[in-house]
Structure 1
């Protein structure tokens, strides 16, 4: 039987992996004395979704505080700005690189070469602008609808507290989108140059146990939702992952770190869009 010291060492090891993931995927300071290796960084990818949960919670709390001082639109704008600073535009950078590469390259080799270029082209700039604009518009309408009582509630726990509903949207979108992006590592080949890639530590495939952990992490905040909304989000995430995976295989024969960033951004947008459709009483979707 494992002793208490072994459990403690295991818990300490997992905490170190989480902090490595937090330091890699955000600008939140972590100790520079954390043990580091490529193997540890690869295993830290299992906490991608939980890092999203923490970032979403911070953004949600900031929105609640800002909404006491400013209009909903201003609070959304400042919270999005805070989110960009919090992550160092990590995922947005991946989206712009992927858009430039796939939009501007006619062959797989050319696409990968363009994606490694740090300069932003027309495709990348357009993708970044439309994504940020989409986030602002969707979050603005969601928050205004919930705060005005015009939308149906997300769950029984948020019916009498619309601010809690907006908070739930932040953590659900941030967690689910990162989980979907992380699961692409499980069954797709890595096609970028591992020696020159910022995502080299995440290039190795995940184990089945790590995949299950990521999925369970994504479901954790989603359990706050009403069952029909929960089921709709899961189906949407599965369909998006399948289509995006096949699209990447057709154009790149695999994934790069930039593709994971793009997957996160697109899935986040889809989450807001689907929630808006499900919560709006004018929608044809009936929520029990």
Structure 2
């Protein structure tokens, strides 16, 4: 059943990553929703407790992913499987652009994203793009008739929106911002594909 498969694949993705990106989305939503002041927002994001903004963001993101995957599976089960792979690769490539174009603003010594940000240079970005291109070439080879360009456009719109949000509200990025970027790009990849096939 499409809905059961969509839920199972989403659960597996969460278990595989330890809800790493979902946690970032919730923390960012709490911080930006909880205060318009930059320093206060960063302080809220460090709090391990989840607030109302984070809970709402998580519920909406997970529901969106499950619903869109189920919709794609109802059209074609193989399309949903390939889209799942393509969306994960694309949405995990997107944060590389944030890392390379914005400053890291997390100021805690135990920050997990700061060493990552410092280790990814232009060579790392090129390597990431190369792996993404190879993955998308496989996807296009498997299902050449699917509108992959519009799915990637959806993810690119999500990346642009998140980049602008982080730059405007925080003047940079944190690890939570990277996780939120991945989640938004994944949802908009599915949405772009679903709109295109409809």
Question: What's the TM-score, normalizing by structure 1?
Answer: 0.63
Gaps (5+ residues) in structure 2?
Answer: none
Alpha-carbon distance, 1:247 to partner: 1.6
Contact 1:100 1:115 in 2 (8 A): yes
SS in 2 for 1:191: coil
Alpha-carbon distance, 1:228 to partner: 8.0
> Does 2:10 align with 1:80?
yes
Q: In the alignment, what sits opposite 1:191? A: 105
Alpha-carbon distance, 1:137 to partner: 0.5
CA, structure 1 residues 211+249, in 2 after alignment: closer, same or farther (shift >3 Å)?
A: same
CA, structure 1 residues 255+80, in 2 after alignment: closer, same or farther (shift >3 Å)?
A: same
Q: In the alignment, what sits opposite 1:121? A: 51
Q: In the alignment, what sits opposite 1:37? A: none
Q: 2:192 aligns with which of 267, 274, 277?
A: 274
Distance, in Å, in 2 between the alignment partners of 1:228 and 1:146 is 11
Contact 2:31 2:41 in 1 (8 A): yes
Which protein has greater RCO, CA pairs closer than 8 Å, 6+ apart?
2
Alpha-carbon distance, 1:83 to partner: 1.4
Q: In the alignment, what sits opposite 1:229? A: 147
- Give the structure with the higher percent helix: 2
Question: What's the TM-score, normalizing by structure 2?
Answer: 0.91
> Does 2:139 align with 1:250?
no
Distance, in Å, in 1 between the alignment partners of 2:185 and 2:67 is 16
Distance, in Å, in 1 between the alignment partners of 2:159 and 2:61 is 18
Distance, in Å, in 2 between the alignment partners of 1:178 and 1:236 is 14
1:115-264 equivalences under 5 Å are: 115-147=45-77, 163=78, 165-204=79-118, 206-223=120-137, 224-225=139-140, 226=144, 229-264=147-182
SS in 2 for 1:186: helix
1:45-75 per-position Cα deviation (integer Å, ceiling 9, x unaligned): xxxxxxxxxxxxxxxxxxxxxxxxxx22112
Contact 1:190 1:254 in 2 (8 A): yes
Alpha-carbon distance, 1:227 to partner: 7.9
Size of the alignment, in residue pairs?
A: 194
